[in-house]
Structure 1
């Protein structure tokens, strides 16, 4: 089982002045690290919770426009909570 600190995320488009016109993320994961897939599927299957996530991201966007790490950290508890629920609901989907 791999841990979060073994994940690689490549980001382009974050500047000291804020977001560039285009921002890109590439996430590299080890085989079996499917948390993002569980979270994605759960958001697709539960639009009310997806709306909550959208609202959270919009609140955090301006607050952390110049601090990508703080923005990501501020979303972490929401994502972990619903990923855990998704894994319980979906079982061994992946």
Structure 2
């Protein structure tokens, strides 16, 4: 159910990292790892399954919005996750 803004003590700007700001240029990440990074956590941080589900809900749209600045790789195992990394053009454009 929607809530009036007045219900909240404070609101914050909705700002997200760009792929060049979030990723190490030479690493590839799974969606759960991306989700942790978007929250300022280490990619391998231990989070409970319920929290991880919420974090992933934020990460999936972020991946879709930034698709042109990402590269993807097939899973390392048949049933494993896919991997995402920052595209070289995105790193060059950011000056990182």
Q: TM-score, normalised by structure 2?
A: 0.29
Higher relative contact order (CA 8 A, sep 6+): 2
Larger strand proportion of the pair: 1
Give the structure with higher Rg (CA): 2
